[in-house]
A and B are shown apart, each in its own frame.
Chain A
């Protein structure tokens, strides 16, 4: 075998190895996203109170994670994924605020002077009546409403720590802040929620 043939063979074997690694990486990503997608959807849904919007946000987060961070180690994906998702949620709220200001400009503000909330004013996406909601899962609905009512950073810290199970360091990466800030936000969130939901929980 001459030098050229040997070089070609080595190159071919290298390409095969690269292809195998790419396939393994894709399988890892698929498993990770399948594992996290349902919780991520519910977390996004609690934040924006709209399932379709939450689905869009989760899909965007998936696409960005695959596009930008697929080469990272598996352990880095959860905080990176939730960082992308939380950024998407914050952007969504900014756009919603602008949209609400435009609606106020066109005279669609609520009578008590509060900003018109198109999402809150929309019918329940599952067509549930208030009675059905109460009988169906009152505790979760109460929790969801209370979590949604938290300040954004407290809400993020609480959901990432409690619902997703990220540790303090992972939550800090996902929120883009220090671990000390995570602890503060989380502590305040817990106290606020317990005050609101005291009769239902703990």
Chain B
């Protein structure tokens, strides 16, 4: 009985496949159109996503432009560090200790230039 069932199913499948192969051109064309219509839905979903892409790009560009135009921490930090290095360097402390001497030397140089 099992073998007969299998034979029957195979025979039915063969008949069915023959009927599929005999589908007329108009029906195949309609199926083709239906498939592309369905896939258009996929395009629609993606195009909706793409409509937001330019807006996201513009937003990103504006953010980048604003960050570049305004002084950022990255730009100012080295300058501040340089000033601190000068102020806290050993030579600078010595200079601060002899500040009166250097002021006097400066005044004398100015007087000699004027004279």
Q: Please report A residues at the B interface, Cβ cutoff 8 Å.
A: 4, 8, 11, 15, 22, 25-26, 29-30, 33-34, 37-39, 41-42, 51, 55, 58-59, 62-63, 65-67, 70, 137, 139-140, 143-144, 161-163, 165, 190, 193-194, 201-202
Near A by CB (< 8 A), chain B positions 1-15 give 4-5, 7-9, 11-13, 15
Residues of B within 8 A of A11 (CB): 60
B contact residues, total (Cβ < 8 Å): 35
B83: shortest Cβ distance to chain A, in Å? 24
Q: Please report B residues at the A interface, Cβ cutoff 8 Å.
A: 4-5, 7-9, 11-13, 15-16, 18-20, 22-23, 27-28, 30-32, 34-35, 37-39, 41-43, 45-46, 53, 60, 64, 67-68
For the complex of A and B, 3 pairs with smallest distance between CB atoms: A202-B8, A62-B38, A59-B34
Residues of A within 8 A of B11 (CB): 201-202
CA distance A118 to B60 in the complex (A): 61
Residues of B within 8 A of A137 (CB): 15, 18-19, 22
Q: Contact: A38 with B28, CB < 8 Å?
A: yes
A interface, over-half SS = helix
Q: Contact: A143 with B16, CB < 8 Å?
A: yes
Q: Contact: A193 with B8, CB < 8 Å?
A: yes
Residues of B within 8 A of A193 (CB): 8, 12
Residues of B within 8 A of A41 (CB): 23, 27, 31
B43: shortest Cβ distance to chain A, in Å? 8
B32: shortest Cβ distance to chain A, in Å? 8
Residues of A within 8 A of B43 (CB): 26
Most buried by A among B27, B28, B38, B43: B38
Q: Contact: A51 with B39, CB < 8 Å?
A: no
A23: shortest Cβ distance to chain B, in Å? 9
- From A55, A139, A190, contact of B34 by CB (8 A): A55
Q: Contact: B16 with A140, CB < 8 Å?
A: yes
- From B22, B27, B68, contact of A55 by CB (8 A): B27
- From B8, B23, B38, B64, contact of A4 by CB (8 A): B64
Residues of B within 8 A of A59 (CB): 34, 37-38
CA distance A33 to B34 in the complex (A): 10
Most buried by B among A26, A161, A201: A201
B12: shortest Cβ distance to chain A, in Å? 6
Residues of A within 8 A of B12 (CB): 143, 162-163, 193, 201
**Also in contact, A15 and B53, with CB within 8 A (given A4-B67, A162-B12):** yes
A33: shortest Cβ distance to chain B, in Å? 5
CA distance A59 to B16 in the complex (A): 21
A72: shortest Cβ distance to chain B, in Å? 13
